A = this chain, B = another copy of it.
């Protein structure tokens, strides 16, 4: 019942604790015989090394912080699960840190998190990945961090601190998706269905992905030889209500679009609601698509064609980058999820 420490194991195996430590860490220069002997004692006594003691000795905490925006977005569980899977594999623990991205003492609380908890690494998710002051602070703290879904890189984001310029070795890794490409493909898909009057609902103007998704839409139109119609491009805010507003606006046009591409699923849901109120049949009179593959996309009626980003994989890759102390920029691909809300264009009866 008493605790099994390295000392107990050492005594039991008739070797020094240092040798036990060597076996623990798979260090070279241990004879096969002693290694076997010690390993046998591990099993016999059910020995578990103490992460706390190891942490003290090596100045590590085996803790990784995950920072994400507070609102209960559904994708946070994907991020968490992706990050967790790698953490568990490598003996690290994940500390989740929902923070309001508009909070005044955001910098302070993240600094406190870093210094107080002695984290071994920090994962930033949008919109934190692109906060210049935050990055500058982390660089100055000499923190190890990885940015997920970032849109700014290089000198645009890494502060140049006059006294002590950021060293090259200090560049943080990134794991990103390609929203522009995904939006391009979604738009191309709508065009391939025969639509040429495609409305677009932009996202919140402060959010960096907004511009990327919009760009993808525009490029696809142009690539198909279509000309964008300003009436068809409206400004949303990423929430359900703004989706309704934009839907009303687009669907009240005399020459209304036959397809609407909303920059996220919540806004697409708002459009579906307006369409239903107006008696416009989706998908046959109107195709609607979203972005993000939020849980709601499956439950809507009709279920929503959307873009699924590899969130879980991205989070997992982020942790791997972090632990490998890499400084690469990794890009991962999104996929189209085609459901019931899109159909070939049918000319009005």
Contacts and interface: CB of A to CB of B under 8 A. Distances in A.
A188 to B, nearest CB: 29
A81 B115 CA distance: 21
Interface stretch (A25-33, A36-44, A208-216, A293-301): A293-301
Contacts of A77: 72, 76-77, 98
B52 A118 contact: yes
A48 interface: yes
A94 interface: yes
A340 to B, nearest CB: 12
A192 interface: no
Interface residues of A, number: 38
Total copies of the chain: 2
A80 B277 CA distance: 37
Contacts of A56: 50, 52-53, 56
Interface in A44-58: 48, 50-53, 55-56
A84 B96 contact: yes
A240 B299 contact: yes
Interface SS of A by simple majority = helix
A78 interface: yes
A72 B72 contact: no
B52 A80 contact: no
A63 interface: yes
A114 to B, nearest CB: 10
Contact of A116 (B48, B240, B277): B48
21 contacts: A48-B116, A50-B56, A51-B117, A52-B56, A56-B56, A63-B93, A70-B81, A72-B74, A72-B295, A77-B98, A80-B98, A84-B98, A93-B93, A93-B117, A94-B95, A240-B298, A240-B299, A269-B299, A273-B301, A277-B301, A296-B296
